Amino acid sequence: MTIRTHVLGFPRIGAARELKLALESHWRGELSEAALEATGRQLRARHWAQQRDAGLDYVTVGDFAFYDQVASHIQLLGCEPARFHFAPEQSPLARYFTMARGADTHAAHAGCGHAHHAHAAGTAALEMTKWFDTNYHYLVPELSPQTRFSLACERLLAEVAEAQAQGHPVKAALIGPLTFLWLGKEKTPGFDRLALLEQLLPVYGALLDRLKRQGVTWVQLDEPILGLDLPNAWRSAFESTYWQLNQVGVNILLATYFSPLEENLSLTCRLPVAGLHVDGIRAPHELISVTDWLPAHKVLSIGIVDGRNIWRTDLDAALAVLRPLAARRDGHLWLAPSCSLLHVPFSLEAETELDTDIRSWLAFATEKLAEIAILKGALAGHPDDAALAQSRLAVAGRRASPRVHRPQVAQRLQALSPTVDRRDSSFPQRQAMQRARLQLPDFPTTTIGSFPQTPAIRAARASHKRGELASAEYERQMRAEIARAVGRQEALGLDVLVHGEAERNDMVEYFGEQLDGFVFTRHGWVQSYGSRCVKPPVIYGDVQRPAAMTVAWTVHAQSLTDKPMKGMLTGPVTILQWSFVRDDQPRAATALQIALAMRDEVADLEGAGIGIIQIDEPALREGLPLRRGQWDAYLDWATRAFRIAACVVGDTTQIHTHMCYAQFNDILPQIAAMDADVITIETSRSDMALLAGFGQFQYPNEIGPGVYDIHSPRIPSTLDMVTLLQKASAVIPPAHLWVNPDCGLKTRGWAETEAALQNMVAAARQMRAA
Ligand code: GLN
Ligand code: ZN
């Protein structure tokens, strides 16, 4: 029995986000290509050395990318879209960044936690979308009947040579051909991208051959789509694909992760490859059947350390899972994190200010390497007893900690009444009562919540955070910002006002900082896309709300106007989705706790006289499980969590929700079941087309389809917005329509915001007059 250890991938951004800094200075023209390449080389060398020093048997080469691994494959496979019209003198790296960021005018930002590419003139960047169910965004390959592949593997081979020169045993890692095609987007209607496979395989074959000739013995091919509901044509393509690739004679480790294999399990285990990696965290229940099905002479790589979360592994529990499996394999057993460590922060070493108890419960990428090595030692019969004991202590400490388990939270959950997620009356009854109370015109106008986060606001917050600006003074400045925002909205003639969120850094962090059960790291950065990183909060314990979080600001704002002031909250599912969550209870349980905390805030806002409360759920859709079979269960608890937060109010209080997209067609019944009185969604970029589903479904409650794209600096004309509203009126009863932008305005400037909103108010007036 041989045990080997490896990772599927390592964070590339660097311990101190060196790659981010280098990239941004390169893009500003301050760092040469050669200097950027040198930074890349240094980071790779450092990360390989770290893998070796941790005792891993292989270092992984091919997981590094200057922007994104899928974009790197587009170049590797020679399929840069022709629409970029690259000039021969452009360097590969310059072309790469053009594909990633567009040419001429490009501004990429994540105003609403989503990544958007805004672009006014020149060549648009490749589209970006989420990598499976993670918060990492990849660049989408564009595929058409004209797509041709060719081998351009110099960068990869050079990286392999680098690692070899540094004395490392190399395992190369690549995205598999079927996953690569699956992730691509068909640019020609009616074209089936699977048709490109035949052409793509020889290129992969040649690539494997080059790697083999360079002395690489193992190549990891990532095929995470084996965890999805695949059409039959895609399933059956696996066998011939891997049969063909296996002819090259290099050992292929087929890597699956993120999701159970289910109906693809026996297919996967029978593929003609030398080894298989499975995700023992997301699919622990499949480990036995994989061991049964996978021929004994093949390598089984078990992902036993969570690559998606930040908790220290319970090593005893992991060993209990591994021992019987190891005993049954006379071939090789490999150990690894469940998936690439790209999705967790770099190292705990920098977290010197973190509470020491909580710190002892965590493991970031660096610490996970050590865990893999400890597990190997224990399985191989030479356990590191000190390390095991320390881990045992930390795990037991976490399990028993009164900071994790708060009896009053459990008691409250037990005592929930069956009507906790129901409004008192039906929507039509509430609608009548709310109309009587609010006295709004037809086509009421509002905004999504945030107004521009000006440099002055950011500077004040930064200096308050550093302890330089006293709290009283910070508060005075924020109250003045709120007053300015209210004054501007009154002058514009908007019907339902907002306070503008000046006091909020981020829509999740703002609440996490005030709730019990959350902790924030100093350097826990995770790459989101390109040079952009996020620092998700960590939910470590039972959540509760010690005190009101938004009431004072909202009441202040309401005191400045006679118009209704809309209270603004982030919903439980979004808070959950954008945090690292507990692994000692189901996600649903954590969502419920957050829902109850938000419910308290909703009740306090209502009690303070606020008549309209918006609970944002922009992450509801992205939380959908990868497997459709799990959608219902998720949507059940997710929509219930929303209702629990919302349904504390009386009939005359109007509940809004907001989501930054309009792809609802497959989940409309559940969106309707949230029973928000008003939902605002993104629709302007799709020209209202996506609203049709709501019409066909006869969505029962009121809707504000966004009439202008806040991701673009372009100021829409009144006519543009009237046209959109007319389209909307054709599919939604006009009496149910609201008028608002697509999303919050925090990333925009005031001048453009006021100009656009002025036109928007004029558009609503025209609709009323018509
Ligand atoms: N209320 C938030 C804002 O306006 C909503 C942001 C979002 O949809 N992600 O900024
Ligand atoms: Zn939004």
Q: What is the DSSP string of 163-177?
A: HHHTT--EEEEEE-H
130 is in an annotated binding site: yes
682 is in an annotated binding site: yes
DSSP secondary structure code for residue 68 in this structure: -
User: By three-state DSSP, how is residue 513 classified?
Assistant: coil
**Nearest ligand to the C-alpha atom of residue 566:** 1
The H or E element spanning position 12 is: none
Residues 294-353 have pLDDT tens digits of 999 999 999 999 999 999 999 999 999 999 999 888 768 999 999 999 999 999 999 999
> Which residue would you say has higher pLDDT here, 574 or 2?
574
Q: How far apart are CA 635 and CA 319, in angstroms?
A: 34
Sequence-distant (≥ 6) Cβ neighbours of residue 535 within 8 angstroms: 345, 520, 521, 523, 524, 525, 526
Q: Answer yes or no: is the C-beta of 100 below 6 A from any ligand 1 atom.
A: no
Cβ atoms of 692 and 731 within 8 Å: the answer is yes
Cβ atoms of 224 and 8 within 8 Å: the answer is no
Ligand 1, atom 1, residue with closest C-alpha: 449
Cβ atoms of 474 and 464 within 8 Å: the answer is yes
660 is in an annotated binding site: yes
Q: Which atom of ligand 1 is nearest to the CA of 448?
A: 4
Q: Sign of the CA dihedral 744, 501, 680, 573?
A: positive
pLDDT of residue 497: 98
The strand pairing partners of 108, in sequence order, are 117
For a substitution probing ligand 1, which of 622, 658, 681, 711 has the most ligand atoms within 8 Å of its CB?
658
pLDDT of residue 328: 87
Query: Average pLDDT for residues 551-559, to the nearest whole number?
Result: 98
Q: How far apart are CA 405 and CA 83, in angstroms?
A: 56
Q: Which of 16, 13, 619 has its CA nearest to residue 341?
A: 13
Residues 664-703 have pLDDT tens digits of 889 999 999 999 999 999 998 888 888 999 999 999 999 9
Q: Answer yes or no: is the C-beta of 449 below 6 A from any ligand 1 atom.
A: yes
Tally the C-alpha atoms within 13 A of residue 670's C-alpha that lie toward its C-beta: 20
Kindly give the distance from the C-alpha atom of residue 507 to the centroid of ligand 1, in angstroms, as a whole number: 7
Q: Quick one: 735 exposed, middle or buried, by C-beta within 10 A (0-12, 13-18, 19+)?
A: exposed
Kindly give the distance from the C-alpha atom of residue 616 to the centroid of ligand 1, in angstroms, as a whole number: 7
Q: Answer yes or no: is the C-beta of 450 below 6 A from any ligand 1 atom.
A: yes
The strand pairing partners of 720, in sequence order, are none
Q: How far apart are CA 615 and CA 656, in angstroms?
A: 6
Active site residue 656: no
Q: Which of 580, 550, 583 has its CA nearest to residue 566?
A: 550
Q: Answer yes or no: is the C-beta of 113 below 6 A from any ligand 1 atom.
A: yes
User: By three-state DSSP, how is residue 583 classified?
Assistant: coil
User: By three-state DSSP, how is residue 720 classified?
Assistant: helix
Read off the pTM. Answer: 0.95
Dig out the tokens for 31 from the structure: 């760092």
Query: Average pLDDT for residues 559-581, to the nearest whole number?
Result: 98
Q: How far is CA 536 from CA 305, 509, 642, 763, in A?
A: 20, 8, 21, 39
Q: pLDDT band for 230, please (50, 70, 90 cuts).
A: very high
Please, what is the Cα angle at 49 between 43 and 54, to 5 degrees? 130
Ligand 1, atom 10, residue with closest C-alpha: 744
Indicate if the pLDDT at residue 119 is higher than 50: no
Kindly give the distance from the C-alpha atom of residue 762 to the centroid of ligand 2, in angstroms, as a whole number: 23
Kindly give the distance from the C-alpha atom of residue 272 to the centroid of ligand 1, in angstroms, as a whole number: 49
Q: Answer yes or no: is the C-beta of 112 below 6 A from any ligand 1 atom.
A: yes
**Nearest ligand to the C-alpha atom of residue 711:** 2
Query: Helix-strand-coil percent breakdown of the chain, rounded to 5?
Result: 45, 15, 40
3-state secondary structure 251-278: EEEEECCCCCCHHHHHHHHHCCCCEEEE
Cβ atoms of 167 and 174 within 8 Å: the answer is no
pLDDT of residue 235: 98
Give the DSSP per-residue string, 338-364. Answer: SS-GGGS-S-GGG-TTS-HHHHHTB--
Terminal-to-terminal C-alpha distance of the chain? 80
Q: How many whole angstroms from its chain centre is CA 559?
A: 37
175 is in an annotated binding site: no
542 is in an annotated binding site: no
Q: Answer yes or no: is the C-beta of 153 below 6 A from any ligand 1 atom.
A: no
Indicate if the pLDDT at residue 116 is higher than 70: no
The H or E element spanning position 53 is: helix 33-53
Residues 161-179 have pLDDT tens digits of 999 999 999 999 999 999 9
Cβ atoms of 2 and 55 within 8 Å: the answer is no
Q: pLDDT band for 153, please (50, 70, 90 cuts).
A: confident
Cβ atoms of 290 and 267 within 8 Å: the answer is no
For a substitution probing ligand 1, which of 448, 617, 681, 711 has the most ligand atoms within 8 Å of its CB?
448
616 is in an annotated binding site: yes
Cβ atoms of 238 and 265 within 8 Å: the answer is no
The one catalytic residue in 6, 117, 711, 736 is 711
563 is in an annotated binding site: no
Residues 362-403 have pLDDT tens digits of 999 999 999 999 999 999 999 999 999 999 999 999 999 999
For a substitution probing ligand 1, which of 450, 566, 620, 679 has the most ligand atoms within 8 Å of its CB?
450
Tally the C-alpha atoms within 13 A of residue 237's C-alpha that lie toward its C-beta: 22
Q: Answer yes or no: is the C-beta of 658 below 6 A from any ligand 1 atom.
A: yes
Cβ atoms of 219 and 176 within 8 Å: the answer is no
* Token pair 């500003």 in the structure block, residue: 28
Kindly give the distance from the C-alpha atom of residue 568 to the centroid of ligand 1, in angstroms, as a whole number: 9
Alpha helices (H) in 608-708, listed in sequence order? 631-646, 668-673, 692-697
Q: Which of 111, 108, 35 has its CA nearest to residue 68?
A: 108
Q: Which atom of ligand 1 is nearest to the CA of 447?
A: 4
pLDDT of residue 109: 41
Kindly give the distance from the C-alpha atom of residue 449 to the centroid of ligand 2, in angstroms, as a whole number: 9
Ligand 1, atom 9, residue with closest C-alpha: 112
Query: Average pLDDT for residues 485-493, to the nearest whole number?
Result: 98
Q: pLDDT band for 121, please (50, 70, 90 cuts).
A: low
Q: Answer yes or no: is the C-beta of 618 below 6 A from any ligand 1 atom.
A: yes
Q: Answer yes or no: is the C-beta of 568 below 6 A from any ligand 1 atom.
A: yes
Per-residue buried b or exposed e for 4-26, using 16+ beta carbons within 10 Å of the residue's own CB: bbbbbbbbbbbbebbbbebbeeb
Ligand 1, atom 4, residue with closest C-alpha: 744
Alpha helices (H) in 608-699, listed in sequence order? 631-646, 668-673, 692-697
Q: pLDDT band for 661, please (50, 70, 90 cuts).
A: confident
Kind of pairing between the strands at 532-534 and 526-529: antiparallel
Strand spans (E) along 557-640: 565-570, 612-616
Other beta carbons within 10 Å of 563: 18
For a substitution probing ligand 1, which of 743, 745, 748, 753 has the most ligand atoms within 8 Å of its CB?
743
Q: Which atom of ligand 1 is nearest to the CA of 570?
A: 1
Q: Answer yes or no: is the C-beta of 616 below 6 A from any ligand 1 atom.
A: yes
DSSP secondary structure code for residue 473 in this structure: H
The H or E element spanning position 502 is: none
Query: Average pLDDT for residues 87-109, to the nearest whole number?
Result: 82
Q: Answer yes or no: is the C-beta of 680 below 6 A from any ligand 1 atom.
A: no
- Taking a 5 Å cut-off on Cβ, the residues next to ion ligand 2 are 112, 618, 660, 743
Ligand 1, atom 3, residue with closest C-alpha: 744
727 is in an annotated binding site: no
